[in-house]
Amino acid sequence: MIRFEKVTKRYRGTKRPALDGIDFEVERGEFVFLVGASGSGKSSCLRLMMREDIPSEGRVLVLGRDTRTLSDRRTPYFRRNIGTVFQDFRLLPTKTVSQNISFALKVIGRSRAFIKTAVPEALERVGLESMGKRMPHELSGGEQQRIAIARAIVNRPAVVLADEPTGNLDPTTSVEVMRVLESINAAGTTVVMATHEAGFVDQMQRRVIELSEGVLVRDEQRGSYGDTSAVRTLRPEAERGAAALAALTAAQEVQRETLTGLISTSERDPEPEAEPEPQAETDSDAVTESGDALETDRTTLPQIDVEVDELGMADRLGLAESHDDEVGPTS
C-alpha cells in the first residue's frame, strides 16, 4: 500500500535532512500512528505520501505508484484515492456543509447521482447527517473536523492521511474524532495519522512508527506512544527559598508564643507599686514661696495714718516749720 525505501529528504537552506534513510511499509487496512517531537519528520512523511514533495534520495511508493516518476499532470488523478484531514479543517466559509463535501466531487467530475448518494452517506458515517444545510461558522470545532473527515472519505479513498486532526480540539471532542477515524479504518480504509496525543496512542494499541530528528527509531506493532519523561508537566514546581521562608515563619511563631507566655505570667503576679518619689521643686514654686514671704514682710511694717486734707501746702511740699535754725531771705 505505502512503502518508503531508503528515503532521504533535504530542504534547501538546512544542514540536517528532514528525513534520513527511512525504511518502512504500511499494509492495506492498517491504522498507523506517526509519533515524535515537533520537527522529527512526521509531516514530511505525509507530504511525500501525497506527492506534495518528492524524495531527494530513495523511493516512495503509494498504491503501487512511484511518486518520483509520477508526472504533475497525473498527480490530481493519483490523489483521488487519498483522503486528507488537516488540523485547521480548511472548510469553505461561504458554502454549506453539503456543498463543502460535494465540491471536491464536482471538481473531479463525479455525476450528480453519485454526489446525491455519497454526501448523505459520508455525513452519516461521521454522525452529522442532520447538518447538511448548516454553515461552517454555525458548527463547533469538533463538528467542523468531522465535516472535514466526511469530505476526505466521500470519494471512498483507499488511504486517509491525517495530520494532527485533534490538535485544535478539546479532549472530549478529540475522542469523538478518533472514534470516527477508527470506524473508517474498521471498514477497510488504511489510516496513517501523525499525532502528539500520547493518550490515544496508548489506548488504541495500534502500530506506532516513531521518528527522531529525521531518523526512524522505532516501528512497533500494538505499540504505545513511548517515552514521555522529557515532556514537561503542569505540576507546580517548588518555589526557590520556600524552605527558608517556612523556617522563618516557624521561628516567628515560636517567638510570638514566648512573648504571649511572658505577658500572661506578668498579669498573674503583679509587682508591688513603688512609692512615688518627691517631686523636685520647680522655679515657679520657688517664686511663689518668695512672693508669699515678701508679702508677709510687708504686713509687719508699721502703718502711719495721715490725713492728706489736714496737711497744708507747706507740709505737702515738705516746707513745714521745723526746729532747725531758720534761714530767711536777705535784703
Q: Which residues make Cβ contacts (< 8 Å) with residue 123, sequence separation at least 6?
A: 97, 98, 101, 129, 131, 132, 147, 150
pLDDT at 5: 96
Q: Are 80 and 157 in contact (CB under 8 A)?
A: yes
Position 256 scores a pLDDT of: 80
The angle subtended at Cα 253 by Cα 258 and Cα 271, nearest 5°, is: 20
DSSP single-letter state for residue 112: H
pLDDT confidence of residue 302: 52
Half-sphere exposure of 115 (CA within 13 A, CB side): 15
CA dist 161 and 173 (Å) reads 19
The segments of the chain whose pLDDT lies below 50 read 282, 286-287, 293-294, 296-299, 301, 308, 327, 331
pLDDT of residue 168: 83
Q: What is the pLDDT of residue 259?
A: 74
What stretches of 97-158 adopt beta strand conformation (E)? none
pLDDT of residue 73: 92
Going from N- to C-terminal start, the domains of the chain cover: 92-156
**CA angle centred on 241, ends 240 and 242, rounded to 5°:** 95
**Res 247: pLDDT:** 76
